[in-house]
Amino acid sequence: MNRLDGLPTCRIDSSRKIEFSWQNRRFTGVAGDTVATALYAGGVRIFSRSLKYHRPRGLYSLDGESSNTCVGIDGIPNVSAENTVLKEGMQVRAQNVMGTPRLDLMGFLDKLDWAMPAGFYYRTMHRPAAVWPIALKQVRKMAGLGKISPDFQMPGRFDEIYPTADVCVIGGGPAGLSAALAAAGTGLRVIVMESRPWLGGFFDFRVCEYRPGLPLYERAAELAAQVEKAANIQVFKNTAMVGAYSNNLITAFQKGEADDPFDERYIEVRAKSVVVATGCMERPLLFENNERPGVMQAACAHRLAHTYGLVAGQKAVFSIGHDLGIEAAIDLFDLGLEVSCVADIRKEGQDRELVEKLAERGIDFLPGWTAVDCSGKTVKSARLCNLDTYVQEQFECDLLVASAGMTPVTGPLCLAQAKMAYDAHTGYFLPRQLPARVHACGRLLGLNDAAAIEVSGQVAGYSATLDCGVSVEEGLRQAREKLDSLAGPAKGCDLVMAPVKGRKAFICFDEDTTVKNIKQTLAMGFDATELIKRFSAAGTGPAQGAIPGHNLALFVARYHGRSSAITQPTTVRDPLVPVHIATYAGAYHDMCKRTPMHDAQKTAGGIMQRIGVWKRARYFSSDTACTAEIENVRNNVGMLDATTLGKFRIWGPDAVKALQRVYISDMSKIREGRIKYSAMCNEDGCIIDDGVVVKRGENDYYFTTSTARAGQTVEWFRYHSRYDNWDFNMVNLTDAYGVINLAGPNARKVLEKLTEADITNSAFAYGGFCEFKIKNTIPVRAMRLGFVGELSFELHVPSSYMQSLWAMLEEAGRPFNIQPFGLEAQNVLRMEKGHLIIGSESEQRTTLNDVGLSFLWDRSKSKAGTVGAVALMHTEKQEGRLKLVGFKMDNAQRAPRDGSIVVDQNVCGHVCIARYSTTLKEVIGMALVKDHLAGEGAQLDIYEDECNGQLMHAHVVKMPFYDVKGERLSM
Partner 1 sequence: MALTLTCPICGERNGYEFRYGGEDKGPRPRAEDPAPGHWCEYVHMSPCVAGIRKEWWYHKDGCGVWFTTERDTTTSLEVKQPEKTR
Peptide bond into 367 cis (omega under 30): no
Cα–Cα distance between 105 and 735 in angstroms, integer? Answer: 66
CB of 417 to partner 1, least distance (A): 10
Stretch near partner 1 under the rule CB under 8 A, chosen from 178-186, 301-309, 508-516, 864-872: 864-872
Give whichever of 160 and 494 is closer to partner 1, judged by the CB atom.
160
Q: Name the minimum Å distance from CB 697 to partner 1.
A: 24
Q: Site for partner 1 (CB under 8 A): which residue of 99, 155, 336, 865?
A: 865
- If one asks whether residue 649 binds partner 1 (CB under 8 A), the answer comes out as no
- 174: nearest Cα among 457, 476, 479, 482: 457
Q: Which is nearer to partner 1, 720 or 883 (CB)?
A: 720
* Stretch touching partner 1 by CB under 8 A, among 40-48, 193-201, 507-515, 863-871: 863-871
Q: Is 524 in the site for partner 1 (CB under 8 A)?
A: no
Asked if 509 contacts 60 with a C-beta cutoff of 8 angstroms, the reply is yes
Site string for partner 1, 670-699 (x = CB under 8 A): -------------xx---------------
Answer for which of 180, 828, 836, 871 binds partner 1 (CB under 8 A) is: 871
Does 657 interact with partner 1 (rule: CB under 8 A)? no
- The one segment of 310-318, 491-499, 593-601, 866-874 that binds partner 1 by CB under 8 A: 866-874
Query: Which stretch in 75-83, 91-99, 503-511, 861-869 sits in contact with partner 1 by CB under 8 A?
Result: 861-869
Going by C-alpha positions, the residue among 46, 471, 599, 28 that lies closest to residue 291 is: 46
Q: How far is the CB of 725 from partner 1 (least distance, A)?
A: 7
Do 820 and 620 meet the contact criterion of CB atoms below 8 Å apart? yes
CA–CA gap between residue 821 and residue 620 (Å, rounded): 6
Q: Using CB under 8 A, which of the segments 106-114, 693-701, 718-726, 931-939 binds partner 1?
A: 718-726
User: Distance between CA atoms of 750 and 773, rounded to whole angstroms?
Assistant: 15
Residue 270 within binding range of partner 1, rule CB under 8 A: yes
List the one residue from 209, 724, 756, 967 that touches partner 1 (CB under 8 A).
724
For the bound state, the minimum distance from the C-beta of residue 270 to partner 1, rounded and expressed in Å, comes to: 7
Contacts of 928 (CB under 8 A, 6+ apart): 841, 842, 843, 846, 850, 882, 883, 884, 885, 909, 910, 912
Q: Is 944 in contact with 894 (CB distance < 8 Å)?
A: no
**Per-residue three-class SS string for 751-804:** HHCCCCCCCCCCCCCCCEEEEEEECCCEEEEEEECCCCCCCEEEEEEEHHHHHH
Residue closer to partner 1 by CB (options 481, 683) is 683
Closer to partner 1 by CB, 152 or 719: give it.
719
* Window 725-744: residues binding partner 1 (CB under 8 A): 725
CB of 718 to partner 1, least distance (A): 5
Which one, 680 or 795, has the nearer CB to partner 1? 680
Would strands 687-697 and 164-170 be described as parallel, antiparallel, or unpaired? unpaired
Rounded to whole angstroms, how far apart are CA atoms 556 and 563?
Answer: 9
| Sequence-ordered alpha helix ranges (H) in 800-854 | 802-813, 823-832
Residue (of 126, 100, 111, 105) closest to 46 by Cα position: 100
Residue 247 as a binder of partner 1 (CB under 8 A): the answer is yes
C-alpha triplet 549, 550, 551: angle, nearest 5°: 100
- The least distance separating partner 1 from the CB of residue 274, rounded to whole angstroms, comes to 13
Helix/strand/coil (H/E/C) assignment for every residue in 371-393: EEEEECCCCCEEEEEECCCCCEE
Residues found in the chain: 971
Prior bond to 575 cis, omega within 30?
yes
User: Measured from the CB of residue 261, what is the shortest distance to partner 1 in angstroms?
Assistant: 24
Interface with partner 1 (CB under 8 A), residue from 120, 121, 245, 559 = 245
Q: How far is the CB of 436 from partner 1 (least distance, A)?
A: 11
Alpha helices by DSSP H, 499-571 = 515-523, 529-536, 549-560
Cα 417 to Cα 377, 463, 568, 573, 777: the distances in Å are 42, 18, 12, 11, 66
| CB closer to partner 1 out of 91 and 862 | 862
Give the SS3 label for residue 241. strand
Q: Which of residues 484-523 bind partner 1 (CB under 8 A)?
A: none
Rounded to whole angstroms, the Cα distance separating 195 from 221 reads 17
Residue 719 CB, shortest distance to partner 1, in Å, is 6
Spell 949-958 as b/e; 16+ CB within 10 A means b. eeebebebee
Closest CB 154 distance from partner 1, rounded Å: 24
Q: Read off the DSSP letter of residue 90.
A: -
Applying CB under 8 A, which of residues 141, 560, 718, 859 lies at the interface with partner 1? Answer: 718
Residue 723 near partner 1 by CB under 8 A = yes
**Distance in Å, CB of 850 to partner 1, minimum:** 17
CB of 711 to partner 1, least distance (A): 9
Residue placing its CB nearer to partner 1 in the complex, 257 or 724: 724
Determine if 451 is a binding residue for partner 1 (CB under 8 A): no
Per DSSP, the three-state class of 400 is strand
Residues in 154-183 that interact with partner 1 by CB under 8 A:
162
Taking the complex as a whole, how short is the minimal distance between the CB of residue 608 and partner 1, in angstroms? 27
Minimal distance, residue 860 CB to partner 1, in Å:
11
Strands 819-820, 638-641: pairing kind: parallel
Asked if 870 is part of the footprint of partner 1 (rule: CB under 8 A), the reply reads yes
Tell me if 722 contacts partner 1 by CB under 8 A: yes
Q: How far is the CB of 268 from partner 1 (least distance, A)?
A: 9
Q: Does 16 sit near partner 1 (CB under 8 A)? A: no
Question: What span, in angstroms and rounded, lies between the C-alpha atoms of 250 and 270?
Answer: 6
* 874: contact with partner 1 by CB under 8 A: yes
Give the CA count within 13 Å in the CB-facing half-sphere of 651.
11
Select from 336, 719, 897, 967 the one that contacts partner 1 (CB under 8 A): 719
Indicate whether 921 belongs to the interface with partner 1 (CB under 8 A). Answer: no
The site for partner 1 (CB under 8 A) is made up of 162, 245-247, 249, 270, 683-684, 714-715, 718-719, 722-725, 862-865, 870-871, 873-874
